[in-house]
Chain A
Amino acid sequence: MSGGPSSTSAGVPRRLADIAIARSGDKGNRATLSVIALEAADYPLLERWLTVERVAAVYRGVVQGAVTRYPLPHLAAVHFVMDAALAGGVTRSLALDAHGKTLSSAVLALPLPDAGPPGA
């Protein structure tokens, strides 16, 4: 894996939000999370870098179960399904956002890796 966060010329770290959008949804007690490249050209970076481990780390303490990843090159998107993520599901949860609809915004804060040589 690559090293520290990359920077634009202005010195601001590049974040996932700079190259992707995300949407989450609920299915029982599972949360779904789609991360979609704004430009299809950035998809290889998403697929290489947005691992199950990175996503699980973002939601540590919220998601209690396994995270499954579905890379979708045709759609330039990486889709995740997170088990035991919604405190029992929308119909039971005590949370203000019982659907987990706001979860998608958290992953977008991830700092992107340095733009190294391809495959770095």
Chain B
Amino acid sequence: MNRPFRIGAGAGYSGDRIDPARDLAERGQLDALVFECLAERTIALAQMRRQQDPAAGFDPLLRERLRAVLPACTRQAVTVITNMGAANPPAAGRAALEVARELGLPRLRVAVVTGDDVLAWLAAHEVPLLDGGATTASLAGRIVSANAYLGADALLPALRGQPDLVITGRVADPALFLAPLMHRFGWAPDDWVRLGRGIAVGHLLECAAQVSGGYIAEPGRLDVPALEDVGFPLAEVGADGDAVITKLAGTGGRVDRLTCTAQLLYEIEDPARYLQPDVTADFSRVQLREAGSDRVAVSGAAGRERPALLKVSVGVREGFIGEGQISYAGPGAKARGELALRVLEHRLRVAGLDRLEHRAELIGVNAMHGAAAGAWRGPPADTLETIAAAAAGDGRWQRILAEPDEVRVRLAVRCATRAEAERIGQEVESLYLNGPAAGGGVTQGVREVLAVASCLVPRDAVQPAVEWLEWVR
């Protein structure tokens, strides 16, 4: 049992790339491959799809992902763990069996973990919301979904049953990684220090390429080799929970102190108190030591007793956002964009929509004139003269230099109804015939706002359960 446990990250969000996951499955010599695909709001959107179609409500890319990795994973006995079940883990499990049949796999044993859905519990109980002073009662009639963040403890019964694939709904992201470590090394549920170390590994891996060279490149200042081919990360974890973060040879990206530090701290609040269902993890004394090319040794994470309550994300309907955009380019673009904004403010007043929360702003660099952007400033020699004149304090040239080559007007308004929201884009579009000179490229849209509120529930509000599904050829 002294061999390190090799665990990889196959996705960091629901739309993530699939080819790096296939590469990890095939070449990673992994024990487990984890796909983390549920952002805060994803499950509420999935719940709405499930209301339309009882067989839907799980990750739309589930079949494609499983087709890419199951052949290698089942051949090499790599346990696949994912929260792609979203709002409908049992239907996701059935879809996985269909994929196994299509692929002609000899066998696929699937554990479906449920119990995160606390909609019924919340309908019968009132608890305070985490942001602001209101309670869940204030959301009555608008709630779409309510899912508790389950911990690794909910996955352990599934892992004990020797699954090829574990499918869950809402589980704390790092717990998807902690669970197989607890299972493999037999860590006790109150071994807070090792659990804290497992959470550090999970948090480092849960955003996939964000620890292996994604989202950090700045040309000339922090270059990332072959970013276009960035590899997904894996960890080699020892029995005490210390680990090495690395990636496959031959992939792009980099794993070093900087990439690991940026991911370790990503989206956490107090680094000494990272609240998880299984443990209060402490990253404040973590040490990241570069241990070879694209290898970082992680040590020093700790943990204390787990929080008493579980966090719940509640999906809430909150009206609509209507948006429209239009661009202006060339000399005077900014002035015309500003005039467009004044026209739009007036039109909102006329429509009685001006008291709604809105944003009216200007964006843009070179989307309009492409390679010719800024050519109106004159050829390069003239530009040098312009700069010299500006440096000499010629106010007119300073103003020209300070002007952008284009601006894009953007108006976004929070509306109560879809009809109101549609009006916003129509108002922007009407600038074609009614607004300042030479506006172009109007886009407009309406989206329903599915907001997420958070609250805490007692642990007995959730009843995790495992359902087994099996395909045998």
Residues of A within 8 A of B (CB): 17, 21, 23, 25-30, 32, 34, 36, 38, 40, 68, 70, 72, 74-77, 79, 81, 88-92, 94-96
| B285 to chain A: closest residue by CB | A74
B258 interface residue per 8 A CB criterion: yes
A81: chain B residues within 8 A (beta carbon) = 269-270
Q: How far is the CA of A75 from the CA of B265 in the complex (A)?
A: 10
A75: chain B residues within 8 A (beta carbon) = 261, 264-265, 286, 288
Contact indicator A94/B265 (Cβ below 8 Å): no
- Chain B 448-460, CB-CB to A under 8 Å as 1, else 0, gives 0111101000000
Contact indicator A91/B451 (Cβ below 8 Å): yes
Contact indicator A91/B450 (Cβ below 8 Å): yes
Q: How far is the CA of A29 from the CA of B359 in the complex (A)?
A: 17
Contact indicator A23/B266 (Cβ below 8 Å): yes
- Chain B nearest CB from A9 CB (Å) reads 19
A38: chain B residues within 8 A (beta carbon) = 222, 258
Contact indicator B40/A94 (Cβ below 8 Å): no
Q: How far is the CA of A58 from the CA of B166 in the complex (A)?
A: 45
Q: How far is the CA of A39 from the CA of B131 in the complex (A)?
A: 38
Interface residue count on the B side (C-beta < 8 Å): 44
| B450 to chain A: closest residue by CB | A91
CB < 8 Å neighbour of A74 from B41, B286, B318: B286
B76 interface residue per 8 A CB criterion: no
Residues of B within 8 A of A (CB): 40-41, 130-131, 215-216, 218, 221-222, 257-258, 261-262, 264-272, 284-288, 300, 318, 321, 357-359, 361, 363, 410, 412-414, 449-452, 454
Q: How far is the CA of A88 from the CA of B412 in the complex (A)?
A: 15
CB < 8 Å neighbour of A89 from B262, B321, B452: B452
Asked, given contacts A91-B452, A94-B414, whether A25 binds B267 with beta carbons under 8 Å apart, the answer is yes
Contact indicator A74/B300 (Cβ below 8 Å): yes
Q: How far is the CA of A87 from the CA of B292 in the complex (A)?
A: 43
A95: chain B residues within 8 A (beta carbon) = 359, 412
Contact indicator B359/A94 (Cβ below 8 Å): yes
Contact indicator B267/A26 (Cβ below 8 Å): yes
| B410 to chain A: closest residue by CB | A96
Asked, given contacts A29-B131, A74-B300, whether A91 binds B449 with beta carbons under 8 Å apart, the answer is yes
- Chain B nearest CB from A67 CB (Å) reads 12
Q: List 23 A-B contacts (CB under 8 A).
A: A21-B258, A23-B215, A25-B267, A26-B267, A27-B269, A28-B452, A32-B265, A32-B266, A36-B262, A70-B272, A70-B284, A74-B285, A74-B287, A76-B257, A88-B451, A91-B41, A92-B449, A92-B451, A94-B321, A94-B413, A95-B359, A95-B412, A96-B412
CB < 8 Å neighbour of A92 from B284, B286, B318: B318
Contact indicator B454/A17 (Cβ below 8 Å): no
Query: Beyond the given A23-B266, A34-B266, A89-B452, could you list 15 further A-B residue pairs with CB under 8 A, ordered by the A residue number?
Result: A25-B267, A26-B267, A30-B269, A34-B261, A70-B270, A72-B271, A74-B285, A75-B261, A79-B268, A89-B451, A91-B451, A92-B318, A94-B357, A94-B413, A94-B414
